[in-house]
Amino acid sequence: MRLIIAEKPSLARAIADALPGGDQRQEGAIVCGDTTVTWCLGHLLEQAAPEAYDPADKQWRLDRLPIVPGTWKLAPRAKARGQLAVIRKLIKQAGEVVHAGDPDREGQLLVQEVIEYLNYRGPVSRLLISDLNRPAVTRALSRLASNAAFQPLFQAAQARSRADWLYGINLTRAWTLTGRQAGHDGVLSVGRVQTPVLGLIVRRDNAIRDFTPYPFYPLWVDIEVARGRLRAWWVPTERQPLDDQGRLVERAPADALAARLPGAEGRLAKLEQSEKRQNAPLPYSLSALQVDAARRFGLSAQTVLDVCQSLYERHKLITYPRSDCRYLPEEHLPLARKSLTGACRNDATLSQWLEGADFSLRSKAWNDKQVGAHHALAPTGKAADFATLSDIEAQVFRLVVRNVMAQFYP
Q: What is the pLDDT of residues 196-224, one digit of tens each?
A: 999 999 999 999 999 999 999 999 999 99
The predicted model scores a pTM of 0.76
The percent of residues above 70 in pLDDT, for the chain, comes to 100
- Phi and psi angles of residue 295, each rounded to the nearest 5 degrees, phi first: -70, -40
Secondary-structure percent of the chain, ordered helix, strand, coil, rounded to 5: 45, 10, 40
Q: Is residue 132 part of a domain?
A: yes
Residue type, 293: A
Same domain, 18 and 149: yes
Instruction: Provide the domain count of the chain.
Output: 4
Residue 274 lies in a domain: no
Alpha-carbon gap, residue 248 to 238, rounded angstroms: 10
CA torsion 198-203-208-211 (nearest 10°) is 170
Residue 386 within a domain:
yes
Indicate if 305 and 387 belong to the same structural domain.
yes
Terminal-residue alpha carbon distance, the chain: 52
Do 24 and 127 reside in the same domain of the chain?
yes
Confidence of residue 131 (pLDDT cuts 50, 70, 90): confident
235/233 Cα distance (integer angstroms): 6
Could you give the angle at which helices 391-405 and 301-309 cross, rounded to 10 degrees?
Answer: 80
Distances from the Cα of 399 to the Cα of 278, 281, 332, 377, angstroms? 19, 11, 19, 10
Q: What's the chain's length in residues?
A: 410
One domain for residues 92 and 237: no
Q: Comparing 49-53, 171-175, 330-334, which segment has the lowest mean pLDDT?
A: 330-334
pLDDT mean over 282-307: 97
Residue 158: the pLDDT is: 97
What integer pLDDT is reported at residue 174 of this predicted model? 97
Is 327 tagged catalytic?
Answer: no
Identify whether residues 147 and 18 lie together within a single domain: yes
C-alpha to C-alpha distance for 371 and 103, rounded to whole angstroms:
12
Strands (E) across 87-214 are located at 96-100, 124-126, 145-146
What is the spatial distance between Cα 233 and Cα 102, in angstroms, rounded to a whole number?
Answer: 53
- From the candidates 120, 284, 312, 320, which is the catalytic residue? 320
Domain, as residue range, for 392: 286-408
Examine the domain organization and report whether 101 and 186 are in the same domain.
no
User: Does one domain contain both 92 and 47?
Assistant: yes
Q: How far apart are CA 288 and CA 72, in angstroms?
A: 38
Q: Say if residue 252 is in the same domain as residue 341.
A: no
Longest alpha-carbon distance in the chain: 92
d(CA 13, CA 100): 12
Residue 13 exposure: Cα atoms within 13 Å on the Cβ side: 6
For residue 133, tell me if it sits in a domain. Answer: yes
